Amino acid sequence: QLQLQEAGPGLVKPSETLSLTCSVSGGSINSGNYYWGWVRQPPGKGLQWIGSVFNTVNIYYNPFLESRVTISVDTSKTQLSLKLTSVTAADTALYYCATSPGSFDPFDIWGQGTMVTVSS
Amino acid sequence: QSLLTQPPSASATPGQTVTVSCSGNRSNIGTNYVHWYQQLPGMAPRLLIYNTNRRPSGVPDRFSGSKSGTSASLAISGLRSEDEADYYCGAWDDNLSGWMFGGGTKLTVL
């Protein structure tokens, strides 16, 4: 059974870069059998898709965040990573990594999430 | 960014049936499957309904989904106290080329 575990700094200063990782266990991150994605949830608000990756190189982003987001896969570490540049208070959220069996399939396995607060 | 439209709250008493609506447009619900997630307090979302009306293994048949045109619904029958949670709809959006979610509906079991 796949398990996902996010990790991050907790607090990031405005204008800096937010960096998160998602460790994958119970399955191969580069098997090509899964789509991997990032979803965030601002406090008290709904879910927002950030981006997804398939086969480590096929990556697509939410157009509203695309200019600031980089998603990558480190197969040696079996980790998914997220970088978000020039953060503001609006980027304060609970960040989840999740996976689905296909590009149009819903995310069926989620990590527990990691909270990131943007504040000076 | 646009969201699928959900009522912010719903409530019902134990044993009743409650319905949560989700409204979109032709580029998302009108063309693609709708999925529903349940988020218990302090927990990650859990896939509740996929492909509009299918239940993952382990989800009770008290939960059901449907779609008509550009709107979808989640129905919960025989409501229980443990159903108190936030419910989110989601669908692939062809214009976004990505996932779009609703703003969530907080269900209170009275």
What is the DSSP code string of chain A?
--EEEEE--SEE-TTS-EEEEEEEESS-TTSSS-EEEEEEE-TTS--EEEEEEETTTEEEE-TTTTTTEEEEEETTTTEEEEEE-S--GGG-EEEEEEEESSTTSPP-EE---EEEEE--
Per-residue pLDDT tens for A58-80? 899 999 999 999 999 987 778 99
* Chain B residues touching residue A113 (CB < 8 angstroms): 44
- At A32 the pLDDT is 72
pLDDT at B22 over 90: yes
- At B26 the pLDDT is 97
- At A102 the pLDDT is 86
* C-alpha torsion angle, residues A62, A64, A68, A73 (rounded to 10): -10
- At A58 the pLDDT is 87
- At A76 the pLDDT is 79
Shortest CB distance from A108 goes to which of B3, B56, B97? Answer: B56
* Chain A residues touching residue B8 (CB < 8 angstroms): none
**pLDDT tier for residue B4 given thresholds of 50, 70 and 90:** very high
Interchain CB contact of A63 with B (< 8 Å): yes
Interchain CB contact of A29 with B (< 8 Å): no
Give the Å distances, CA to CA, from A50 to A75, B27, B66, B69, B91.
21, 19, 27, 27, 14
Provide the shortest C-alpha distance from residue A68 to chain B (in Å): 15
- At A67 the pLDDT is 96
Residue A107 CA to residue A115 CA, distance in Å, equals: 19
Per-residue pLDDT tens for B53-102? 999 999 999 999 999 999 999 999 999 999 999 999 999 999 999 999 99
| pLDDT-flagged residues of chain A (< 50) | none
Structure tokens at A50: 């950030």
- At A33 the pLDDT is 79
Interchain CB contact of B90 with A (< 8 Å): yes
More confident residue, B24 or A75: B24
C-alpha B33, offset from chain centre? 12
Q: What average pLDDT does the segment B28-47 reach? A: 97
Angle at B73 between CA A106 and CA A3, to 5 degrees: 25
* Chain B residues touching residue A68 (CB < 8 angstroms): none
Interface-testing mutation among B99, B100, B106, with chain A (most A C-beta atoms within 10 A): B99
Measured from the Cβ of residue B52, the count of other Cβ atoms closer than 10 Å reads: 17
Measured from the Cβ of residue B104, the count of other Cβ atoms closer than 10 Å reads: 26
Structure tokens at A5: 């575990």
Provide the shortest C-alpha distance from residue B44 to chain A (in Å): 5
Contact A62 B96 (CB under 8 A): yes
